[in-house]
Chain A
């Protein structure tokens, strides 16, 4: 193994990337674009849910109940309807997600110390949002009931009114419950996959397609040197992207980074090697660049995006799919990222994920060197 030969290959590969503006954009702009998209533009937080209210009671009490919705940051009272038909129509055309119908006997029932049924109509199309909206509504309903019940008890003059049981909630790790804190750490894994698999998937197949592989074969460069030389630039660029992503996460989006940065870099380097090995395998197996790209998309990018727990929590998936996620490396890396970012976890909590990634890396490079043949075909 000669370092000078590795370096020569690596330099050539650097030139390839830097002289093709589009590859360069994929390296620099794509991570930034993804970070902006997921850190700033999209969110799963349910706020300002558009709603319509139909108040059949028109009393002080019903108004004060409605007030609880209009004053809440979670709801946006957009329409006041005069009949149920209008409520239905607004939900049907998608103008509102929710309708609140207050019956004519609302204040009468509440002030007489009973419970009155208010109707909530939900557009269930977006089931996840609807689910959360419902839990907000129920929380408001509970709060209101509690207060009314207390007023009633006090009016009866029975005793000092005390709430029997109260829940005190403390949320750890993502105190504000913001979805960006959940997305951004996992997004780093997606970015690593773009370079690792999508770009690296090209390196060998390109030489074959252009016919330059035959030239390389005739040089004294060895297989191992070729692989190391080819992968080094991508390893370097991945680290560059990692740094970029971390800076954006910390300074632009205020995602807490509680753990050790050194550990994050070390374990990320490990994952980068796994991704590069996968890219190398794709590159040696695929016959054309186009096919390599497609394989990279299907076995590299999509699973990272959809099955790693990056946006969709693995524990909510059906069992058979959960089992499948154990077979993909990004799953472990996403766990590592979320743990280090949000929980500040140390190595003692992450050894299992680390060992698994080491296993993936060894297996990956073994397959890559086996499938890569430095001979004419």
Chain B
């Protein structure tokens, strides 16, 4: 019995690895995703290009502009003269933010009135804009405080202090807000999701397409042995691929690995059950490799986007949040990020582990049953 599985196991590995395009599937897309998410998916906003239109040209206005210019968040790149110039600069994406200082700026400051500074901002990229506005607000408020203290000084109050709060923040697990620490573990999870699905679905359908599946059926192999032989090799390949990418992530992208590798391995094994189950299921609804590929695309596209991979689950509409509970990737992302970044142990991750075990086992059972039915 184990001999039969072993033979099938070896055959699948050889067949997959000798095929150049399969080797490409194992290496190129994972690397591509790793590079893009390691480098590109960044919201660390620095050097926002800004324009300044100073209608006042006073010492005060220059002081304020200097504060923007010397901050690491803004680069002042243009000094437009007219509102049309400002509009063109924003329209042509030359600047994201335009600061306009009205002609009565210094006069109002001296009189003790409120001087209004106009900020025009390109909101196309909503989150970058939000962060840029936060920085601008900070600078304005610091400047405002400085003026207030000056006014009070003149009124004879020495050593005035602000009342209120200082926000002292400590950011755990990722103190410099580096997005690659968030995405690299997720890409590893993605590999463990996609690779077994694609390989399992292709392997079964290919045999069906060239007719060798029927030949296998006349051999003494039992159908459950066939299921094992058709899934185990691809789970293993997925695991190996995942380990390779994880090593690149740890050593090249310097993503910290704070937890226990054994716990991650346990989570991965549980998760891979679900992945091969999906692959097996897709193979039962496809008769050509072409169809299998399209079905895989249809299945994985929503699954990846509704997993918390890039888009937070808690911001989704409520009924979709419930839907994500049926998505194994959702749990595995919590596990892999928890182990990598937080060093979480089983005491914290047991609910996700349990969910993966139940979900994976259930999916594997259903697709094997369907697979066997489809064989006969």
The residues of A with any CB-CB pair to B shorter than 8 Å are 22-23, 25-26, 29-30, 33-34, 37-38, 40-48, 50, 65, 91-94, 110-111, 113-132, 134-139, 141-142, 144-149, 151-153, 156, 158-160, 162-175, 177-179, 181-182, 202, 288-291, 293-294, 297-298, 302, 306-307, 311-313, 315-318, 321, 338, 342-343, 345, 349
Contact = CB atoms under 8 A, between A and B. Distances in A.
Given A94-B334, A145-B162, A177-B130, A158 B152 contact: yes
Given A114-B163, A126-B312, A289-B289, A131 B25 contact: no
Nearest to B100: A168
Contacts of A38: 305
Given A22-B290, A121-B169, 17 more contacts: A92-B342, A116-B166, A124-B173, A125-B337, A142-B138, A149-B163, A158-B155, A158-B157, A164-B115, A164-B147, A165-B147, A173-B122, A175-B123, A298-B28, A311-B41, A312-B42, A316-B44
Contacts of B337: 125
B130 A128 contact: no
B293 interface: yes
B348 A93 contact: yes
B323 to A, nearest CB: 9
A342 B124 contact: yes
Contacts of A170: 118-121
Contacts of B155: 158-159
Interface stretch (B31-39, B76-84, B271-279): B31-39
B302 to A, nearest CB: 6
Contacts of B123: 171-175, 177
A91 B117 CA distance: 39
DSSP majority for the B interface? helix
B362 to A, nearest CB: 24
Interface in B127-152: 127-131, 133-138, 140-141, 143-145, 147-148, 151-152
Interface in B157-183: 157, 161-175, 177-179, 181-182
How many B residues touch the partner, as a band?
Answer: 35 or more
B223 interface: no
A65 B164 CA distance: 10
B75 to A, nearest CB: 11
A144 B165 contact: yes
B90 interface: yes
Interface string B170-202: 111111011101100000000000000000001
Q: Closest 7 interchain pairs by CB?
A: A145-B164, A135-B134, A124-B174, A174-B123, A164-B147, A42-B311, A124-B171
Given A50-B314, A164-B144, A343-B91, A173 B124 contact: yes
6 contacts: A118-B165, A127-B177, A128-B177, A132-B43, A162-B114, A168-B118
A22 B291 contact: yes
A139 to B, nearest CB: 6
B126 A179 contact: yes
Interface string B261-301: 00000000000000000000000000001110111011001
Given A114-B161, A127-B179, A167 B40 contact: no
Nearest to B308: A126
A30 B294 CA distance: 10
A69 B62 CA distance: 36
A37 B174 contact: no
A142 B137 contact: yes
Contact of A172 (B122, B311, B312, B314): B122
B301 A34 contact: yes
A290 B315 contact: no
A127 B21 contact: no
A33 B302 contact: yes
B316 A142 contact: no
B166 A141 contact: yes
A37 B317 CA distance: 11
Contacts of A118: 165-168
A127 B43 contact: yes
B28 to A, nearest CB: 6
Given A148-B163, A293-B293, A165 B114 contact: yes
A111 B161 CA distance: 12
A163 B42 contact: no
A172 B37 CA distance: 29
